[in-house]
Structure 1
Amino acid sequence: MNMLEKLLQLTQKARSDRSLEPLIKSCHLLVSERGQANVYALAVQVIEGYKGLPATRREAFFAALATDFAPNPEAVLQAATQYAAAQSAKHLAALTHAVEAPRQELLRRINRAPGGTAMLLAMRVDLLGLRKGNPELAAVDADFLHLLTSWFNPGFLRMERVDWQSSAALLEKIIQHEAVHEISGWSDLRRRLQPDRRCYAFFHPQLGDEPLIFVEVALVDDMADAIAPLIESKPEAANADGTRTAVFYSISNCQPGLRGVSLGNFLIKKVADQLRSELPQLKTFCTLSPIPAFVRWLDSQPNEDDQWSMALQRVTAWRQLHATPTGDQLTRMPKPLRQDLTSLCARFLVKQSHVSLGDPVARFHLDNGARLERINFAADLSRKGIKQSLGLMVNYLYDIGEVETRHQDFVNQKVSHSVAVRRQLKPQA
């Protein structure tokens, strides 16, 4: 069965399912000309109808969006033919109107209702889950992403600093959504909000105090080479006034429905501007970042007869002796093996960051205009850090004056990296 046949089958199922009938009918009314006069009431009907929809029927609902609310092929062909014959503004406008799926207008009208934005994010979470087994729903997801990208443009968002005086509800959400370095409780969170630390988040006017994404920053003297000193509890924190380095050590997305909407890069740049204004003595802006795909990449490498494979074999032999290595075992790793490990990591980040199996964190920062500055051994000895990267972490340097140039380098398949990293690209014999 091809994709179209499966979609049509699911749509027919939706049409014959009496429990889905009122929801689909409300959608048709909402997107119709008559729906404009009663848009709020109809949008609320759609929202409430979707809320009451069992999870088992959502696949058929999205299939109906893919077929019943798709562009009319005949209208598209006619408009395209007219535009090809006479490329006037009138014909271009007609073609643009013809190719836009009616479901986009449906989503716009849902968005106008109270709670509509939050509902669309929830619907997209469901859609993303269903897409794994239904690639034919990609067109529906593309329309969601297109509209969400416009509505969540950073120009419409507000950035706020999160501190100990923020609402308890917001602080609980920061604890809940921290995705990089777990916050173990209130005392742990308080350390991350003391004078030499910062937390900033983006908010959308339609979502109240629901953070979209937040970044945590440590204000220190030098570029950090380990995560523990940045997040460990201290009875008293240092004042930030004399610090010269801002280390972005955690970026967490809070809204899975916004997957694919680029917010992190704008937040980092806006925070850097804010910190430079507040603390003009800051000279260095960098990250201390995980490498979540490194061990997976190590495990996928073929055994070939070259210097890289010799380094890989030595690291693999050590891992076989230490199936689940502890932090203590890692810190006692012989120096030659450390060099093998960091050299392999350098090769992975410089040579693989443009491919699908590359590291997503590396791709984010490099595409954002950062430079791969340093690879740090035994930098994250947590269970998660050892499992993902054998304890390695990376500093990416944000040289504000070079960000655009380095972003363009990455677009052109070049990874900007320091001299120190370049030296590590030569494996031991």
Structure 2
Amino acid sequence: MKTAKSNSKTNDLFARLIRGDWSVFKKSRSDAFDGHEVLDLGSIGEALLSRRGEASGTMLAQRLLDNFEQSTPEAQLEFFLKLVKKFAADTEKLQNAIDRYQGTPSGEALLRLHNAAEPRRQELIRRLNYSSGGTHRLIKMREVLLGFVGDHPEFASVDADFLHLFMSWFNPGFLEMRPMDWSTPANILERLIKYEAVHAIQDWDDLRNRLDPVDRRCFGFFHPQLAEEPLIFVEVALSTDVPTSIQKVLHPERAPIPANQATTAVFYSISNTQKGLAGVPFGSFLLKHVIEHLQREIPNLDTFVTLSPVPGFARWLAHERANSQSEFLTEEIRESLNMLDVAGWHANKKKAETVRIALLDSARAYFLRAKTSRGAAVDPVARFHLRNGAELHQLSFLGDVSEKGLKQSHGLMVNYLYRLSDIERNHEAFVERREIIASKAVTGK
């Protein structure tokens, strides 16, 4: 129990903080960098958890985030280590709750156990959200954390706490979809240029080519706490057929078609702008809302497909070609695939035709047969769309002949078909039975 003396000391501490005296948290001078005052982030976190007052809590949250953002990578790493070791669940409190529940398994005892099992750092993260711009700053903090997880697997528990809270804070129901065009404020359009992750936007002329024509649409998804910081962009091309080449879709001199002549909406780029929100399942919410909006605006649309990259295919294929015991490649296919090692093969019609059948057969194995150690489809983009209820509709040979496309997939692209009447059934097949719904054009059956 706290004594009157300790309470007086704590009150004096916060009186000093309100006056701007942060020396109590100051680390040794040997830890100083770039002339900035260096504060012990862990101690500020403890102080933040000890306060009940909103004003002092906001002040402490602001200061912790300010100093985290100014800290060196070494200091940020030290803070995450403290989150693991000193901000976990109280083991004594947890054990008492377990014993109480085992003795009397009541609803009240279960609630106590639930509360005791929560790591202290979850409440710390909640309180950090008190600060100005706290939500966005916490997303950036998790982005830093993810950069350390590979070398520090013990950080997985901290990341799980961030993800648990973010999945609640960023429930898809909170997101607002906004159509975007050339008249959208420049500060938001700049973010589209910056964050486009699938097909890089070269300049403002390139951006205008994607937004201004009558057969182009773009949608951004926004969160109330990040009003000017879109979370996701979806870029759409209107067409009269299912396209097989991204270069044709994005060609600056193509002839636009009137919207009332289009029958197909093509989702050719879906970009998540926030790395710190990785793993937060926005999923089918996004495309369902876009599809519903497009159906209301353009009733003549009857087909909704993607034109998607295959980011892991070239890497997977290189591994299988190096494996003499590969179950996916026959000797005949191996021989044909040797053409991939010839520079500029894709630009020569004869050479490209030599490898086409072998590459498409390999792609069928990649999508339909190859699995991760957990039994899931190996391609991350495929997992996203199949989980959301799409059909693997068409394989497009040399669909992306950009340098990036050739490097990551030997130019292969894929169309996923969203048929609204089948989305729920396809989703259940993939999630519950790991069944990949594919068209006859893909399966060959």
Structure 2-normalised TM-score?
0.87
Aligned to 1:285: 304
1:56 aligned partner: 74
Contact 1:311/1:344 (8 A) holds in 2 = no
Does the C-alpha gap of structure 1 residues 334 and 170 become closer, same or farther in structure 2, counting only changes over 3 Å? closer
The alpha-carbon distance between structure 1 residues 374 and 90, as it changes in their structure 2 partners (threshold 3 A), is same
Correspondence 1:344 to 2:365: no
1:361 aligned residue (377, 381, 402): 381
Give, in whole Å, the separation in 2 of the partners of 1:311 and 1:293: 23
Secondary structure of the residue aligned to 1:182 is: coil
CA contact (8 A) 1:303 1:309 kept: no
Deviation at 1:306, TM superposition (A): 7.4
Shift of 1:312: 3.3
1:176 aligned partner: 194
- The aligned residue for residue 252 of structure 1 is 271
Distance 1:241 1:273 in 2: 16
**Within 1, Cα distance between the matches of 2:151 and 2:123?**
26
Q: Which amino acid aligns with 2:370?
A: Q
Aligned-pair CA distance for 1:188: 1.1
State the number of aligned residues.
Answer: 407
The answer to whether the 8 A contact 1:216-1:251 is kept is yes
Matched, 1:164 2:163: no
Per mean C-alpha deviation after superposition, the further-off stretch among 339-348 and 33-42 is 33-42
SS at match of 1:96: helix
Per the alignment, do residues 402 and 265 of structure 1 end up closer, same or farther by CA in structure 2, a change over 3 Å counting?
A: same
Residue segments in structure 2 that go unaligned for 5+ positions in a row: 1-24, 32-37
Q: What is the identity, as a one-letter code, of the residue corresponding to 2:262?
A: T
Tell me the CA shift for residue 359 of structure 1: 1.3
CA 264–163 in structure 1, closer or farther in 2 if over 3 Å, else same: farther
In structure 1, runs of 5+ residues without a counterpart are 1-14, 425-429
Cα separation, partners in 2 of 1:216 and 1:422, compared to 1, 3 Å: same
Secondary structure, counterpart of 2:416 in structure 1: strand
SS state at 2:122 partner: helix
CA distance in 2, matches of 1:118, 1:182: 24
Secondary structure in 1 matching 2:123: helix
In the alignment, the residues of structure 2 paired with residue 124 and residue 306 of structure 1 have an alpha-carbon distance, to the nearest angstrom, of 39
Amino acid in structure 2 at the alignment position of 1:205: P
Contact 2:136 2:226 in 1 (8 A): yes
1:9 aligns to what? none
Q: Deviations over 1:158-207 (max 9, x none)?
A: 11111000011111111111111111111111111121011111111112
What is the deviation of 1:391? 1.3
* Match 2:167 to one of 139, 149, 154: 149
**Are the equivalent residues in 1 in contact too, given 2:180–2:217 (CA < 8 A)?**
yes
The secondary structure found in structure 2 opposite 1:400 is coil
Where does 1:27-426 land on structure 2 (aligned, <5 Å)?
27-34=45-52, 36=54, 38-193=56-211, 194-234=213-253, 237-301=256-320, 302-304=323-325, 308-320=329-341, 322=342, 324-329=343-348, 331-333=349-351, 335=353, 337-352=355-370, 355=375, 358-411=378-431, 412-423=433-444
Q: Is the Cα–Cα contact under 8 Å of residues 191 and 234 in structure 1 kept in the other structure? A: no
Query: TM-score scaled by structure 1?
Result: 0.90
Q: Give the drift of 1:356.
A: 6.8
Pick closer, same or farther for the CA change 1:309–1:51 going to 2, 3 Å: same
> CA offsets, 1:307-355, max 9 Å, x none?
83224312332123x0x335413x4336463112101101101112555
SS of 1:401's equivalent? Answer: coil
Aligned partner of 1:3 in structure 2 is none
For residues 223 and 328 of structure 2, what CA distance do their matches in structure 1 show?
A: 51
Q: CA deviation at 1:36?
A: 4.8
Separation in 2, partners of 1:249, 1:148: 27
Aligned to 1:25: 43
Q: Secondary structure at the match of 2:214?
A: coil
- Counterparts of 1:396 and 1:23, CA distance in 2: 47
Secondary structure at 2:238 match in 1: strand
Is the 1:213–1:264 Cα contact (8 Å) retained in structure 2?
no
Judged with a 3 Å threshold, the aligned counterparts in structure 2 of structure 1 residues 191 and 97 are, in CA distance, closer, same or farther, namely same
Q: Give the greater-gyration-radius structure (CA).
A: 2
Within 2, Cα distance between the matches of 1:88 and 1:215?
A: 48
Q: Are the equivalent residues in 2 in contact too, given 1:162–1:200 (CA < 8 A)? A: yes
Gap change, CA 1:341 and 1:311, over 3 Å in 2: farther
Against the structure 1 CA distance between its residues 230 and 147, is the aligned structure 2 distance closer, same or farther, given a 3 Å change threshold? same
- C-alpha separation between the residues in 1 aligned to 2:110 and 2:290? 41
State the Cα distance separating 1:21 from its structure 2 match.
Answer: 5.3
* % identical equivalent positions: 41
Instruction: Give SS of 2:351's match.
Output: coil
Residue aligned with 1:49, SS: helix
- Give the 3-state SS of the residue equivalent to 2:163 in structure 1: helix
Q: What is the rounded CA distance, in whole Å, between the counterparts of 1:307 and 1:190 in structure 2?
A: 43
